[in-house]
């Protein structure tokens, strides 16, 4: 079967399933939750949590000894006191206890794979209902930018829509079922950039969906050509979004970045609102932020989430390796939804400075702010107080620039760390097409999920 025909079938079937009157009804039901006050949200959460806990006790051997006769209002308290926090490695070690049906996926359940940036990827079972709900949550977030079904969008997220060796356009696929242009991020290189930019200019999408890294790469290509695209909204997700990426993307796309936080395990979902706050969606899952001992904290901690919508394999109090903190107060957008600070990179990608303390990746971006001639970069911890900065240089990146980068790190980030700059032809992404800007190759923390 030709790739073209395969794509037609894939996107046609997907649209039939996902985008129909029922999905519109689902979306409108979710949108009503945007006007609930805190007390109403708490009630809704308790009801959804109660349902998940009941399913977990009924279906998963891990919880079968737990009592089921607690009232709805007590669900959050019962969760905290009787359900242990689970981590990714337990899904392997205790598969028989944490998977339904003795670990055998039923034919009507969909497999979901975590990307496995470190360690082995984990496969989860998903119900059809949860897949449809996921789509509704994403569309609710898109609606914050005024985007709805029928409007044109472009997608730059690692889809294989053009052959690796392909030397000429099209480096994209037009999904007519969703008015969506899927652009091959693997062809975002100087040689093909003009063709891709021309196509996007002609299409004038209302919105671009991208990884932070792919949007940033395209912004860099635009910058070098001094060309601007007028795309009003760029929705980023799946990787941490760094301030330097947001700034360059907003400058050259001429629109606003709306970041989204989610994961393959689907135990937390947050979307950036019109006022730039990252709101946890309280009707998606039950989110806790806990310290190293598993206690709730107002300081930075790990995100722990309990699904509300995937009853095929309910993940309860699943600890992610993402770090963040609650943000107090009310948002000007009027939604009474909890806010969190920007989610820092994966815990295992945290690097440490000269004194052994973690270094914020946002601080690290300061060193790159006034640098020219860098096409792509990556900061890796390769030893105690030793970093390797990998740079894919553009023409004109000199030894002086190299030294300036080292000086920037010493002056703006950490004076006591040994820095080596290494020039590379390319820095590969992970198998899933994601890019990790900060990596710890020396001492990934052991307790990282």
Residues that bind Zn ion (CB under 5 A): 273, 275, 277, 331, 333
At closest approach, how far in Å is the CB of 146 from Zn ion?
Answer: 15
Nearer to Zn ion, 331 or 342 (CB): 331
At closest approach, how far in Å is the CB of 260 from Zn ion?
Answer: 14
At closest approach, how far in Å is the CB of 236 from Zn ion?
Answer: 17
The token pair that represents 384 in the structure block: 């105690």
The partner residues of 210 in beta bridges, in order of sequence, read 156, 236
Nearer to Zn ion, 287 or 448 (CB): 287
Nearer to Zn ion, 48 or 331 (CB): 331
Contact 158, 433 (CB under 8 A): yes
Q: Which of 387, 410, 435, 409 is nearest to 220 (CA)?
A: 435
Concatenated DSSP letters for 167-196?
A: -SS--EEEETTTTEEEE-GGG-SHHHHHHH
| Terminal CA-CA length for the chain | 40
Q: Which of 123, 149, 136, 128 is nearest to 315 (CA)?
A: 123
At closest approach, how far in Å is the CB of 41 from Zn ion?
Answer: 14
In three-state secondary structure terms, 224 is helix
At closest approach, how far in Å is the CB of 275 from Zn ion?
Answer: 5
403-435 residues labelled b (16+ CB within 10 A) or e (exposed)? ebbbebbbebbbeebebebeeeeebebeebbbb
The CA-atom distances, in angstroms, between 149 and each of 142, 205, 206, 230, 345 are 10, 13, 11, 20, 32
Nearer to Zn ion, 217 or 277 (CB): 277
At closest approach, how far in Å is the CB of 283 from Zn ion?
Answer: 15
Nearer to Zn ion, 277 or 352 (CB): 277
334-351 residues labelled b (16+ CB within 10 A) or e (exposed)? ebbbbbbebbbbbbbbbb
Rounded Cα–Cα distance for residues 300 and 448 (Å): 15
Nearer to Zn ion, 162 or 331 (CB): 331
Nearer to Zn ion, 337 or 437 (CB): 337
At closest approach, how far in Å is the CB of 156 from Zn ion?
Answer: 26
Length of the chain equals: 449
At closest approach, how far in Å is the CB of 240 from Zn ion?
Answer: 20
Nearer to Zn ion, 142 or 387 (CB): 142
């Amino acid at each position: 079967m030709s790739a073209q025909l395969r794509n037609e079938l894939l996107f046609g079937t997907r649209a039939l399933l996902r985008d129909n009157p029922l999905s519109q009804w689902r979306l409108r039901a979710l949108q009503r939750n945007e006007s609930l006050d805190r007390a109403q949200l708490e009630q809704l959460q308790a009801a959804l949590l109660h349902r998940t806990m009941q399913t977990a006790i009924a279906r998963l051997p891990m919880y079968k000894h737990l009592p089921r006769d607690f009232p709805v209002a007590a669900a959050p308290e019962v969760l905290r006191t009787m359900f242990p926090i689970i981590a990714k490695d337990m899904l392997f070690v205790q598969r028989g206890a944490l998977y339904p049906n003795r670990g055998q996926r039923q034919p009507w359940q969909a497999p979901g794979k975590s990307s496995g940036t470190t360690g082995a990827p984990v496969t989860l079972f998903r119900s059809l209902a949860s897949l449809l709900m996921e789509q509704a949550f994403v569309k609710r977030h898109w609606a914050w930018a005024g985007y709805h079904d029928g409007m044109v969008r472009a997608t730059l997220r690692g889809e294989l829509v053009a052959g690796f060796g392909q030397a000429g356009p099209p480096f994209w696929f037009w999904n007519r079922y969703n008015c969506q242009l899927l652009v091959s991020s693997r062809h975002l290189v100087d040689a093909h950039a003009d063709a891709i930019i021309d196509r996007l200019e002609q299409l004038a999408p209302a919105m671009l969906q991208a990884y932070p890294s792919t949007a940033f790469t395209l912004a860099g290509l635009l910058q070098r050509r001094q060309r601007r695209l007028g795309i009003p909204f760029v929705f980023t997700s799946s990787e941490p979004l760094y301030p330097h990426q947001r700034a360059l993307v907003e400058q050259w796309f001429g629109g606003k970045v709306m970041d989204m936080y989610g994961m393959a395990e689907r135990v937390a979902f947050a979307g950036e609102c019109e006022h730039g706050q990252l709101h946890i969606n309280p009707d998606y899952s039950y989110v806790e932020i806990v310290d190293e001992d598993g206690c709730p904290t107002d300081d930075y901690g790990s995100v722990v989430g309990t699904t509300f919508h995937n009853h095929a394999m309910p993940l309860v109090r699943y600890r992610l390796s993402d770090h963040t903190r609650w943000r107090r107060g009310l948002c000007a957008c009027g939604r009474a939804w909890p806010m969190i600070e920007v989610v820092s990179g994966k815990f295992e990608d945290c690097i440490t400075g000269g004194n052994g303390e973690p270094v914020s990746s946002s601080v690290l971006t300061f060193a790159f702010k006034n640098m020219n001639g860098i096409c792509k970069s990556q900061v890796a911890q390769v030893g105690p107080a030793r970093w390797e900065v990998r740079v894919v240089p553009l023409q004109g990146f000199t030894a002086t620039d190299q030294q300036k980068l080292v000086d920037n790190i010493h002056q703006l980030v950490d004076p006591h760390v040994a820095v080596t700059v290494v020039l590379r032809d390319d820095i590969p992404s992970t198998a899933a097409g994601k890019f990790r800007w900060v990596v710890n190759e020396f001492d990934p923390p052991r307790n990282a999920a």
